[in-house]
């Protein structure tokens, strides 16, 4: 069933688990993601990165097909615009039928982030859609630009942001970075940031850059109050490795078969994250007590 993120995240918030959000950029990755969720009867979020849709398959071609997959799914599936950095693109995505969007104005000043997010929240809520935002800044593994402590979310700002914007969920920076972590490297997380924001607001909170963060870090993040976990790089790396291995074994192998192998590999990784998140068996949408 095609739904917004709100009810699934509200339930996760109430029952203290997380919903996985998997970055997909084509139909194959979306298909593998939904198949993993159906296998474990778990709710799932398909994150469509604005940058991917601008550089790879455009939104107007990708979104309708993935929405159809979601509508036919046996579990609740949300399709979320990830890191929408352009306000008009975010609004256009809502008008194109996205029920979940991230308005990422975290690179703007704090006051501008509030104002831009408030405007998007008003439009989205009028359409029955859900909005995610971000306070703090995320680094990237590429170029060794890892998240530094001075980029971490300031809890007081996050609390004020939620109260002033009424955003549905908020991404926090507290130790993770975007990208594939170096082998053997486990980042340090400051869980007190999550705990302080959760205690003051009770709002669903989001971990970006879940790939390579370490199982213990993710478990402790959920215990601290994280309800949505974004993972992309680990899944894509698994697919790339599967394709490489198949071609090393047999360069004449049919491309369709190679892609099928990569999708099966992605499904297994996604299933492992779903199991870690605590969302197994939580697929059925239930009314959340107010």
Domain of 164, CATH number, reads: 3.20.20.70
In a domain, 282, yes or no: no
Q: What pLDDT shows up at residue 165?
A: 98
Instruction: Kindly give the parts of the chain with pLDDT less than 70.
Output: 140-146, 284-290
Q: Is 216 exposed, middle or buried (0-12, 13-18, 19+ CB in 10 A)?
A: exposed
The string of DSSP letters for 66-122 reads HHHHHHH-SS-EEEEEEEE-SHHHHHHHHHTT-SEEEE--TTS-HHHHHHHHHHHHH
Residues 6+ apart with CB under 8 A from 277: 17, 18, 19, 20, 42, 218, 222, 229
Q: What pLDDT shows up at residue 287?
A: 38
Q: Is 237 exposed, middle or buried (0-12, 13-18, 19+ CB in 10 A)?
A: middle
Q: What pLDDT shows up at residue 93?
A: 98
- Beta partners for residue 48, in sequence order: 81
DSSP 8-state class, residue 142: G
In a domain, 284, yes or no: no
Helix (H) or strand (E) holding 163: helix 155-165
In a domain, 17, yes or no: yes
Residue ranges of the binding site for Zn(2+): 83, 104, 134, 178, 208
Report the candidate in 167, 173, 148 with the shortest Cα–Cα distance to residue 9.
167
d(CA 162, CA 168): 8
In a domain, 59, yes or no: yes
Q: What pLDDT shows up at residue 178?
A: 78
Q: What pLDDT shows up at residue 142?
A: 67
Distances (CA, A) of 109 to 29, 59, 98, 101, 206: 35, 28, 27, 20, 21
Number of domains in the chain: 1
Task: Note whether 80 and 112 are within 8 A (CB).
Answer: no
Residue ranges of the binding site: 83, 104, 134, 178, 208
Catalytic positions, written as ranges: 82
pLDDT per position as a tens digit, 11-40:
999 999 999 999 998 999 999 999 999 999
Q: Which tokens go with 201? A: 């607001």
- The overall longest dimension of the chain from CA atoms, in Å, is 58
In a domain, 285, yes or no: no
In a domain, 108, yes or no: yes
Q: What pLDDT shows up at residue 284?
A: 67
For residue 76, how far is the Cα from the chain centroid?
15
Other beta carbons less than 10 A from residue 205's beta carbon: 29
- What residue numbers bound the domain in which 184 lies? 2-277
């Amino acid at each position: 069933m095609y739904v917004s993120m709100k009810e699934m995240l509200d339930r996760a918030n109430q029952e203290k688990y997380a919903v996985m959000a998997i970055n997909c950029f084509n139909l194959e990755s979306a298909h593998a993601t939904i198949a993993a969720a159906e296998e474990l009867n778990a709710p799932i979020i398909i994150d469509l990165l604005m940058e991917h849709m601008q550089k790879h398959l455009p939104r107007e071609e990708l979104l309708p097909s993935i929405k159809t997959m979601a509508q036919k799914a046996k579990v609740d599936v949300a399709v979320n615009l990830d890191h929408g950095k352009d306000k008009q693109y975010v609004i256009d995505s809502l008008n194109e039928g996205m029920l979940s969007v991230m308005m990422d104005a975290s690179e703007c000043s704090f006051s501008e982030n509030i104002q831009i997010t408030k405007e998007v929240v008003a439009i989205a809520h009028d359409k029955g859609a859900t909005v995610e935002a971000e306070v703090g800044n995320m680094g990237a593994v590429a170029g060794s630009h890892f998240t530094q402590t001075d980029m971490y979310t300031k809890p007081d700002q996050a609390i004020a942001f939620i109260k002033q914007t009424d955003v549905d969920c908020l991404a926090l920076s507290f130790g993770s970075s975007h990208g594939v972590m170096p082998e053997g490297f486990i980042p340090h997380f400051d869980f007190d940031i999550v705990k302080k924001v959760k205690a003051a607001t009770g709002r669903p909170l989001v971990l970006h850059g879940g790939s390579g963060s370490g199982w213990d870090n993710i478990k402790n993040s959920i215990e601290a109050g994280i309800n949505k976990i974004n993972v992309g790089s680990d899944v894509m790396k698994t697919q790339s490795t599967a394709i490489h291995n198949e071609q090393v074994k047999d360069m004449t192998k049919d491309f369709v078969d190679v892609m099928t192998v990569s999708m099966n590999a992605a499904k297994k990784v996604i299933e492992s994250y779903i199991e870690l998140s605590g969302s197994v068996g939580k697929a059925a949408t239930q009314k959340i007590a107010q």
